[in-house]
Amino acid sequence: MKTSSVILFALLLGSFGLNAQGSQDYGTGLKMNFNEKGSKYMRFILWNQIWARSIDNNPGTLVNGTPSDNTLDISARRIRILAYSQISPRYMVVLHFGVNNQSFVQGGGSATSGTGGYGAGKKPQMFFHDAYSEYAIKLATKDSPNTLSIGAGLHYFNGISRMTSASTLNFLAVDAPIFNWPLIENSDQFARLYGIYAKGKLGKLDYRLNVNKPFATNLTPTNASTSNAAIAVDNNGDSKLSTGGYAMYQFLDQESNLLPYTVGTYVGTKRVFNLGAGFYNQPEGTISQTNGLKSKHAINSFAVDAFVDMPIGDKKKNMAITAYSALYLNDFGPNYLRNTGIMNPGTIDPAYTGTKALAGAGNARPLVGTGSIWYTQAGLLLPKNSDSPKLRVQPFVAYTLKQLDALPAAGSYFDIGSNFYIDGHNSKITLQYSSRPIYSSKDNISDYKGEFVIQFANYL
C-alpha cells in the first residue's frame, strides 16, 4: 500500500475516535472491504440515545391538553445511521440519516393529526443529515502532514466553533447547549447546509471553509413604532450565499478531520490542547419593520474557543481532565431572540391566569439572539477501578452566561452530571441536572426551573 494510503487509513480509524474514545473490542465496527488491502471499503455506524426525563415545566403549561407542572417522559433524542465509503485514497462519499426528538407527544410523521390513534408522536420521519462527496486534492505523506480536500453536498463542515461541528457520539455533557448551532432548524437542516467546502491541515493548523445556500425563511416581522423597538425575525427571501469557517491550532496531539465531527471527550486517551476561532456571514438573513418600513439585516456570528483533554497523574490510574470554553458574538439584527426547548412537551395554557414565562411553555428557554454567549464545561475522569477497569466515572459541570440585547437581564444556566462508561462511548449512561432562568419579562428573572435527564447511549 502506498504511504499516502497508509496515512489516510490511519486517519480513518481515528476519524470517529474509535481508537481514541471508544472500546478496542469494537475495532472498526461494521466495515466491508472491497479489496484485500482494505483501502477501498464501506463503513456503517449505528447509534441510539434514549432519554428518560423529569421536567419542571414553565408556568402556564399544557401537556396534551392537561395543565402540568411536571412531566415525566421517555424519548428518543437520536436514532442514527451513518455510512461512508472510501472508494479510492482520494474520493469519499458520506450518507448520514436517522430520526431526532421523538417523544410521546411530538416527532411523528403526522404532526397535524393530534395525539389520537395515529398520533403526533408516532411514525417519525427519517431524513438525511449529511449527504456529500469529497475529493482529496492533497493527501498527507511521510514527508508532509499537510492536506487539502474539496467537497459538496449537504454537509457539516461548519464555522463558527468547535462545537458547531460536534460529534453527537461523544459529548462530555448529556448534549450540546444547542446555541452552538445558531441557525438550527431555521436556515439550516439540523445544523447542515447545502454548499461547497474546503478542509485541510497546514502544519498544526486544522481549517474548514464553506460557501452555502441557506434554506429559505419567511417569518413576518411585527411593526414597531420606533427603531429601538424593532425586532428582527428570520426572513431571507431568495437567500444570499453564506460564508463560514473555523480554524484551530492543535498544540499537542493532532485530531483527525477525515469526517467533520469533533470529539467532546477522549476519556483519557489523547493529549489535546487547541485554540480556535470561526465566523459565519449571511447577507440579508433577517428582516425588521418600523412604521411600515422593512429593513433587511445581515447575520454575523463569531466565536473563539479553547479545548483541553489530557491524562493527569499516575498513568495506571488513567485520570484525565476535559475542558472547553467558547465565547459567541451573534448579530441577527435588532432585538432578535429565539426561544426553544429540546423535545418540548408543552403548549401554552390559555386559561392560566398567572404570569407566564416569556420563553413559552414546557422547558422552553431563550436559546440564542443578538448579543453574546459564554459557555464553559469541564469534566474529571476518575481513577480506574482494578476490579472493573472498563467501568469509568466522569463527573462534569457546565455554565452558560447569555447577555442578549432583547433581554436586559443576563441569564445564567447551570448543568451538573456524570458519565458512567460501561465500554467507553460505545456504551454509557449519563445523568444530568440542568437549571434554566424563567423570564417573567425581558428585564426580570422571576424563578429557575430544572430538568433531570438519564441518557442511555450506545453505538457500533
Say how far apart CA 403 and CA 24 lie, in whole Å.
Answer: 43
Position 395 pLDDT exceeds 80:
yes
Say how far apart CA 247 and CA 232 lie, in whole Å.
Answer: 30
Position 14 pLDDT exceeds 50:
no
E strand or H helix that includes residue 12: helix 3-15
- What's the average model confidence in pLDDT over 127-136? 96
* All residues at 6 or more sequence positions from 426 whose CB lies less than 8 Å from its CB, including other chains: 22, 23, 25, 26, 458, 459, 460
- What's the average model confidence in pLDDT over 322-345? 97
Q: Tens digit of pLDDT for each residue in 54-107?
A: 999 999 999 999 999 999 999 999 999 999 998 888 999 999 999 999 999 988
Question: Which pairing describes strands 223-224 and 272-290: parallel, antiparallel, or unpaired?
Answer: parallel
pLDDT of residue 209: 98
Q: Tens digit of pLDDT for each residue in 397-418?
A: 999 999 999 999 999 999 999 9
Q: How confident is the model at residue 12 (pLDDT cuts 50, 70, 90)?
A: very low
pLDDT of residue 121: 80
- What's the average model confidence in pLDDT over 360-374? 98
Question: How many angstroms from the chain centroid is the CA of residue 21?
Answer: 18
pTM: 0.92
Position 287 pLDDT exceeds 80:
yes
pLDDT of residue 21: 62
Cell for 215? 434554506
E strand or H helix that includes residue 208: strand 205-213
- What's the average model confidence in pLDDT over 127-133? 97
118 or 295: whose pLDDT is higher? 295
- Residue-wise DSSP of 292-348: TEEEEEEEEEEEEEEEEEEEES-TTTTEEEEEEEEEEEEE-STT-EEEE-TT---EE
pLDDT of residue 23: 64
Say how far apart CA 113 and CA 216 lie, in whole Å.
Answer: 26
Q: How confident is the model at residue 24 (pLDDT cuts 50, 70, 90)?
A: low
Position 116 pLDDT exceeds 90:
no
